[in-house]
Structures are given as C-alpha cells and as structure tokens.
Structure 1
C-alpha cells in the first residue's frame, strides 16, 4: 500500500495550495513528498528495534511527537499533522472517513541549504558554527530535565549502548588489526566509564540529563531565511533523546572533525561551553565523542555484509576504519598548557585567544563573560569593583584548574595587568604541571581606540570597557618582571602573521622565542 499511496499523493488536485512540482525524498524510515511550497513527511511502517512504526496509531503518535518536539527549535517550519483518508489508490488530504495514514506538513526548503550540502561546496562558515552553538546552548539550558527517578541518564543506561556497540561490531570484523583496535577502544571505554562513574551520577542528579535533540549533525541543520535552523530531532526513541546535554553536543563536534573541520569543531565546543558554563562536561566529552564515532562506524559495517561488489565492500570498510580511528583519537592524552593574555581592553586579546581555541583545541575563559556569570548584578559599580575583580580572577583560576585536570589546554582571556593576578595563574599551571605562557598583546594607542570604536558599533562584545577605562588600565598596569618575560611571547596585533608565528611555535612546544 505504501508505494501505491506515495504515487497517488503526487496529484496536484489533492492539495489546498498550489503545487509547482513533485519530488520524493526516501530514507530508511520515511518518505517526504515535496510539492514546492510545502512538504509532507510520512513514516514508513517499519520496525528496526530502536523504532516501531508498524502500527497506524503509533505512526500518528510519533507524527504528533515530531511536530511538538521540533517546534521547540524551529518557527514556521513544522506546521501541522494532517490525516490522510480515502484509499491508497485514491487518497484525500484531511478528507472524510477513516484515517489510512498521517503526514507531517512542513514548510519546504531547498536541500542545497542543508549545512551538510553547504560544507561539501566549501560554503560552511564560522558564522554558521557560532549561530549553531548559540542555538544549541540556549536550547539545552531551557530543555526539560529528566527526573531523578527516571532511569534514563543513569550511569548504567549511559554505558549500555556503548557496550552494545562493541558486541554488535565484533562479529562483523574479520581483520586482526581491526579487532585489536576494537579491543583497545573497548578497554578505554570501560576504564573511562569506571573513572567517571561518580561524575555521570552527579550529572544525572544535578539535572544535566534533559530532553535533548538526539541527532545533531550537519545534515539536520539548514539555513532558512538567513538563519541557521536545527531540525529533525529524534521523536521515536526516548533513550536516544533524553540524554546528557554533552552527548547531544558531542555528535556535532564529532561530525565536524570527521569532515576535517577541527578548527570549527574547537570553535563550536568553546562557544557552547562559554554560553552554558558547564565546564564539568568537558570530562565526559571525549567519552561521548568516541561513542558517537563508533555508532557511525557500526552503521557503516551493517552495510558491509549486504554488499557484494568488492570495491563497494572496500569503500564501506574504509569508512568504518575512518570512524574507528577518529574514536581512537579521543583516547589520546592531549598536549596541555595554560596561557594567559596580557594587555589592555580592545587590544585584540580575544582574537589571540580564539586562535588558540581553533588551532590547539584550547578552552577559552573570558573574564568579561565569567564576571557576568559570577557577579549577579548589572550595575557597573558592582561588576567592576575591586572585590568583583578579585572574585573574577579567583573564579577563572579555579575553573582553569578543573579544565586542565580534564585534559584540555586553557587560555585565560583577561587583561592580567597586575603581577599578583599573573602569579596566581602561574601557580595554577605549576600545580597542574603544565606549560605556562603569557601572550603579551600589543598595538598602538590610536589603533586600540579605533578597534574599540568598531567593537562598540557592532554591539556584540561582552566587554563594557570604554576609552576612559583603557586609559586607566594603561596608567595602573604593572610591568612584566624579568622572570615573567622568560615565559612571555609578545605579539604585535596589527599584523595577523605575528599570531600565526606564535601558534606555530606553540605547536612545536615553544622551543624558541
């Protein structure tokens, strides 16, 4: 009946709106009938274990769930659930009589505007990633919490699908090297889970298990009316959707890294954590990224047994190995350091820090952002008091120590004009036994004034610094000591090439100035 129905629905007379052309997109779980202005998504009557659409009432229920859940993230894209009546050969849209099927009515958009398609054309930009990070963070902060009495999100429920992955993958592998790699990945997952078990428990109790999206990757993001829009969340399986917000976030980070966009992945992760402040989530991020990579690896292997052409089998196995190697990369111990910026406001410190984010995978902590997260006041005399300043730097150092312990390099984006502030940061690095670096950002006063004016005109920067504030900073700054200069790299921010030289030196473990 299904194919007959899809064919019969390609009749312009059935629709209460103009139809410019018919196209059908088919996936393993649905058909989408495109009409020009609107699209109608119909669920296939299939059962894959993790979803069951074989019953008409179930398809109706999950259509309504898909509408409800996706309207949380979109506006004007998911419009309605419409019944289809009549017969498969002669259907009616919302007609009289018994319902034979349900369809989700959506606003149609060009498939070329999917971010996955834009990435293939080389059109994916930093602005897309920044907007997506903001949208996901805002969504997670407001998503309903899965209650403590619900088993979903407990440590055991977190680990069950991870173990299931290895159980399902192992019988499908033939080569000794692939099996040895799988054993290594499984041992790492078990060790990581055992070590982080108390944190998984705490995250469950503290409300980080939420009703998330469940399927965040570039193919489920489109550009609509000039805005980046995340759609097509998982409605058919609660355990896939009701998960740690970091598991949700990890999928996109992994997808970007798989597509060889490490800088964008680092940028996305940093922007997400900067917005949410959930820095404890960094401890579980590699675990969830490795899990997401192995899910993708497994899905590719499922196709391997069905392929008969040797070239096709080789291509599928290569895709599996790419994902398995990506998962293995998350097991590595990263190169850690603590860097601080040094210089007055508007000199370009944030740009320098962001460069470390994108190239080294550092986590950037911005004093202007953390100050406002910490100090619950909008009054400038409170925000920028001496007491608030001390509290902000103490907070930066506390969070930095935690992030270093989680295994990430850190860059502290603050002025650090006082020697005591710099010494406190150096102590954090010494305690963590990591390299400490001062990035001394310089630009002429006239250039700083110009950059400040441009920043104020844009109105997007979290800093409230004015020219008077900068002048006061210049007068009150304490010069770097001889001992500090040994660990300092001075960067003229008027020439971007200088920053590139610094990054190259850092990548080479800073053997020379």
Structure 2
C-alpha cells in the first residue's frame, strides 16, 4: 500500500511538472515519456528522469532514499560513457502539487538531469533513415573497448560472473518467457536446451574469464535503444544502476548485447563491424568462446522486455534461434603489397560475410605492448620487423585463426602473406580442419601503391608502418604462388579505387567465398 501511495503521489508530482513554468530555464512545452521504472520529462533543452516508486524484484525504488541513491549511481555510471548527456542530480522540493527544483528544505523527490536529444537520434531511428555509417560504428567500438579496459574489476570474493550466477540469470529469463502467453512452448523448449548445453560447454571458460579479471563494471544494457547520435558521436547512455549483478558482467556480455541488437534490427553487418573494431582495439579474442552464448541470452532478455511492455517478442526469439546456429567456417587470407587495399577489402568482407578479422600490423604491435596506431620507430628488418619477429607474428595469427575457427566463426587473415611459408601456415591449417580456404590476391598498379602510402603517412591513422623502402623490399622478396595455391586464389583488382571500396567488388568476392 505504501508503494501505491508513493506512486500515486509521484503521478501528481509529474502532472504538476508538465507545467513549463515549474522549470528554472526556458521551456515551451513539456513532453512526458513513461516506462515501467521511470518518468522522463522532456523540458526545453533538458530531460529530467524520476525513478518510479516501484519494487519489481529486479529493481527496488520504493523509498525516497533509495531513489536518491540510484539517481547518484546513474549519474556516476553513465558519465563514464556519456558525460555530455549526464549533468547532475536535482532535488525537488515543496509539495507534489507545487513542486520546485532546487528548493531549500526537505526534498520530496530527486531527478537525474540530462541534456536532451531528439528521439529520432536514437540508433533505432538513425538506423532506419541511414545515418549510421560504419565510421561512427567503428568510433563507438573504440570508445567501448577503452571503456571496458578501464572499467573497475570485480572485487575479490564477489559472486559476480561466477558460472552458476550467469546461468541463474539466463535461466530466470527463460523461466519468465515460459510464463508468457502466446509464445510457442516448443520454441522455448529448444532454446532452453541449447542454452543449457552451451552453459555446460562454456563453464570452464566462464570460470576462467572471472579468474582473469574480465568481470567488470560495465554498461549492462547496451541495446540500440540506449545508443544515440549526439554532437556527431555515437554515445551509450542509460546503463544499469539499479542492479549491480546486471552490470558487473563479462565485457563480452556487454558488447554482445549491441552486436545482437544490430542483427535483430536486420543490420548484422554493422554488428560485425562493431565487433571487428572492438577486437582490433582490445585484442580480446578469447571472448569469442562466449560470444554466441551471450548473444542468445541478450536476445532472450529483449524478448522478455518486449513482453513486459506488451509488445511482440517474436523478432528477438527469431534472432535467438538464428544466432544459436553457427555459421559455416572458412579461412580466407589476403595477399599483396603494402597499400594494395588488403585491409579495406578485408574490413568490408567482415561485414558482408560475418567473419573474424586478424590483422598482422595490429597483432605484431600488440605482442610488443603497443596500441594499433602507435609508431614503433622500427626500420625495415629491425625492431618489430626482424625475421624472428615476423615469424612470431604469423605464428600468433595462425593460433588466433585456429581458435576462432574452433568457435565456429569464419576467419579472414589480413596480412601481406608474400612468402610461401607464411601462406602455408594457413593453407595447412585449413587442410587439417577440412575447411574451405582461399587467398585474396589484392593487386594495384605501382603508382597507386606509392600514392596510397604517401596519403596514409600524411593521415597517420593506420596501423601499418610501411614506407616506400618497405614496398621496394616486398617487391624484391615476394614469392610466387605454387600450383596448389593457385587453385585457391581469388584476384581483387583494387587499382584506382578510393578508401570506400567498390561495393560491386566486395559483393562479387563475397559471393565466391560463400560458394565454397
């Protein structure tokens, strides 16, 4: 009863706050958005979020003190990823009928004050009207990778991220869906069986991830409705503050939410682009062992939320079923001189084919403790580019490729592969695993290569450190394909093309790869 009385009082307060005169800044009209856990008042240039006096089990905002605490938590947590949006916690004074912001005396309610944005700028809207360009997705991925790297590690002795705790969350979601009318029980039975099987398969990996420190204070609710275009950037907001166990999670569980939601919205290509850039920035390839499990779980979470909102869960159930079926693995390696378009083409194919990309320039630096865009200061045949370092780099690429393939993912190795021994590492791997294999031979005129190298050096935004001297050495030392390799070659003429590779070329190559 106390909760009902508090909620009724809140509704009177919110009704009063729909009066533009109640705000300490210019307001034309006030728009109210109500969710199952909050009231959001859009007033002028700002939005005020008031937490509902409810206890839904997974969230308890019944007392004013709890609402104040979680307002402060929301500000703290979300300022990490969206400081431009989250401004302050405001006290509301006087009475529900005559409220006033910042009134001295006892507060009757609290609100999180945010900078307002257009609802059409949410990713769901921006996706529909074509404003979500790959460059924005890649920038978001780098921001998320940095955020995940810096996020607080789970305190010693806590239950967060333990395999049984993870399963409790997945199992609770499935149990909630089973109570919903209108969902085919056979679908949920099949998904339940798949989740149980994957949970058993992944138990050691789940425990290892916790032991290795990958359970961190994440966003927790990283779907497209909580991503927005603001000030020319893609920002994540509305992270979970109300339940610590839903945000103290594996970083791959956090990212898997967004990757899944792109797929659920019919743009799996952007999800792969997000994953590709996140992996390149952070190098957490070990997380691939859990990616599919967490994607299916996240699809089930959104299906449950849809039911709570009275919407259809079918799209997310369809997505969960589709994600539970692994793609047909294959191994594709690039071949070509520096600036021949290997990385541009490989990146485009990641989106088109749904694959994991391994880039030699990045992994070579990562092994030396350098960021992808860091300059090593190495000259040709020294530092990072000695014969020994090159052998180590290619062996690492092979090991990563083998691991990713074992998880059921197609792999694209983005490397020059100018030597026979380098190509043989992957040729033999594909033969051992009985997987389709292809060599993508990127070719461009010498003049184009020189121009691209010069332009790349001016921009300074590429992991490659190749120079004209390196190019000359590559031409001199390149080894021709043997007969077995020639049967695997797909030629890509990248001459005269801009950074935005011709879509026809990408489509043609993708169709040939899919025809393996």
TM bin (shorter chain) = over 0.9
- In structure 2, C-alpha distance between the alignment counterparts of 1:338 and 1:169, rounded to whole Å: 38
The match for 2:209 among 203, 207, 219 is 203
Does the 8 A contact of 1:493 with 1:499 survive in 2? no
The match for 1:294 among 300, 306, 326 is 300
Matched residue, 2:364: 371
How far did residue 303 of structure 1 move?
A: 5.3
Matched residue, 1:260: 266
User: Does 2:262 correspond to 1:269?
Assistant: no
- For the aligned residue pairs, the C-alpha RMSD in angstroms reads 1.7
Does the 8 A contact of 1:491 with 1:499 survive in 2? no
How far did residue 482 of structure 1 move?
A: 1.6
How far did residue 491 of structure 1 move?
A: 1.4
Does the 8 A contact of 1:341 with 1:416 survive in 2? yes
CA-to-aligned-CA distance 1:320-379 (integer Å, 9 cap, x gap): 233222111122132111111110010000122113211211100111110110023623
Matched residue, 1:312: none
- In structure 2, C-alpha distance between the alignment counterparts of 1:468 and 1:236, rounded to whole Å: 57
- In structure 1, C-alpha distance between the alignment counterparts of 2:114 and 2:509, rounded to whole Å: 50
CA-to-aligned-CA distance 1:64-93 (integer Å, 9 cap, x gap): 000111111122321111111111111121
- In structure 2, C-alpha distance between the alignment counterparts of 1:204 and 1:487, rounded to whole Å: 41
Matched residue, 1:338: 331
Aligned residue for 1:441, secondary structure, equals strand
- In structure 2, C-alpha distance between the alignment counterparts of 1:41 and 1:277, rounded to whole Å: 37
Matched residue, 1:95: 103
Matched residue, 1:507: 514
- In structure 2, C-alpha distance between the alignment counterparts of 1:427 and 1:256, rounded to whole Å: 35
Aligned residue for 1:480, secondary structure, equals coil
- In structure 1, C-alpha distance between the alignment counterparts of 2:161 and 2:140, rounded to whole Å: 24
- In structure 2, C-alpha distance between the alignment counterparts of 1:76 and 1:186, rounded to whole Å: 41
How far did residue 270 of structure 1 move?
A: 1.2
Gapped regions of structure 1 (runs ≥ 5): 305-315
Aligned residue for 2:108, secondary structure, equals strand
The match for 2:315 among 318, 322, 325 is 322
Matched residue, 2:86: 78
Does the 8 A contact of 2:349 with 2:506 survive in 1? no
- In structure 2, C-alpha distance between the alignment counterparts of 1:154 and 1:431, rounded to whole Å: 35
Does the 8 A contact of 1:148 with 1:205 survive in 2? no
1:235-254 equivalences under 5 Å are 235-254=241-260
- In structure 1, C-alpha distance between the alignment counterparts of 2:86 and 2:36, rounded to whole Å: 21
Q: CA distance change for structure 1 residues 265 and 416 in 2, over 3 Å: closer, same or farther?
A: same
Does the 8 A contact of 2:18 with 2:32 survive in 1? no
How far did residue 12 of structure 1 move?
A: 4.7
User: Does 2:14 correspond to 1:21?
Assistant: no
The match for 2:348 among 349, 355, 368 is 355
Aligned residue for 1:24, secondary structure, equals strand
How far did residue 394 of structure 1 move?
A: 1.1
- In structure 2, C-alpha distance between the alignment counterparts of 1:498 and 1:239, rounded to whole Å: 46
Q: Please, what TM-score do these two structures have when normalized by structure 2?
A: 0.92
- In structure 2, C-alpha distance between the alignment counterparts of 1:32 and 1:147, rounded to whole Å: 33
Matched residue, 1:9: 17
- In structure 1, C-alpha distance between the alignment counterparts of 2:337 and 2:323, rounded to whole Å: 37
Does the 8 A contact of 1:173 with 1:179 survive in 2? no
Aligned residue for 1:99, secondary structure, equals coil
Does the 8 A contact of 1:34 with 1:108 survive in 2? yes
Matched residue, 1:222: 228
Matched residue, 1:441: 442
1:32-43 equivalences under 5 Å are 32-43=40-51
Matched residue, 1:310: none
User: Does 2:465 correspond to 1:476?
Assistant: no
1:44-123 equivalences under 5 Å are 44-123=52-131
Does the 8 A contact of 1:40 with 1:106 survive in 2? yes
- In structure 2, C-alpha distance between the alignment counterparts of 1:382 and 1:343, rounded to whole Å: 22
Q: CA distance change for structure 1 residues 296 and 74 in 2, over 3 Å: closer, same or farther?
A: closer
Matched residue, 2:461: 460
How far did residue 298 of structure 1 move?
A: 2.5
How far did residue 173 of structure 1 move?
A: 4.6
How far did residue 224 of structure 1 move?
A: 1.9
Aligned residue for 1:28, secondary structure, equals coil
- In structure 2, C-alpha distance between the alignment counterparts of 1:464 and 1:420, rounded to whole Å: 22
Does the 8 A contact of 1:140 with 1:210 survive in 2? yes
- In structure 1, C-alpha distance between the alignment counterparts of 2:119 and 2:245, rounded to whole Å: 29
Q: CA distance change for structure 1 residues 18 and 321 in 2, over 3 Å: closer, same or farther?
A: closer
How far did residue 240 of structure 1 move?
A: 0.9
